[in-house]
Amino acid sequence: MIKYSLIVTTVALLLFIPNVIQVQCSQPQLNQVELLKQFPGSWKTEFSEGTTMILEFTPFGDAMMGNAKTITTDTSFNSMKYLWGYDNKNDKIIIAEIFSHTPVMEIDAGWFSSKNTFDAMLFSDITSPENALKKWKFEFKSPDLLVFTTIQNNNIVSVLEWTRIKK
């Protein structure tokens, strides 16, 4: 009888332990499309005295499209257009960008790693993010303050604070 009880107890533990491990390891899935809704509006940053950049994010269904332009003493240069859309298969936001000064497109992939943090990198690096040449981190410090960090070769090369100027 003692052997039978020991066997039943062991089997019960073996069935229960994987469920406990899975519950401890699984994290709630972030709704990438819903979190993307933090971006729309107009955002502004100042690079240096008299040099400003404006980003405009416009909703397009559950995706976004937008413009960016750099302005120096009322002269606009280095503008770009972009599309942001959700890739259900990879659970990533795909970003396509084209710049006014070059015909080369850039394709990036991004995802919310928390409710307030959006990480991105070149799409070509998505299979090995630890070796990505360039990475970006967007941190929503508040609904109207966005900190944008650019990382190259695992070194921070710039940190810009963006203020929402229009919703």
What's the whole-model pTM score? 0.79
What whole-number distance in Å separates Cα of residue 150 and Cα of residue 145? 17
CATH code, 32-166: 2.40.128.20
Q: What is the pLDDT of residue 21?
A: 45
Pairwise pLDDT comparison (71 vs 76), residue with the higher score: 71
The tokens describing 100, both together, are 């006014």
Domain locations along the chain: 32-166
Residue where the block lists tokens 């396509």: 96
Q: What is the pLDDT of residues 7-64, one digit of tens each?
A: 444 444 444 444 444 444 555 799 999 999 999 999 999 988 888 999 999 999 999 9
56: closest CA among 86, 64, 96, 111? 64
Give 29: exposed, middle or buried? Use CB within 10 Å, 0-12, 13-18, 19+. Answer: exposed
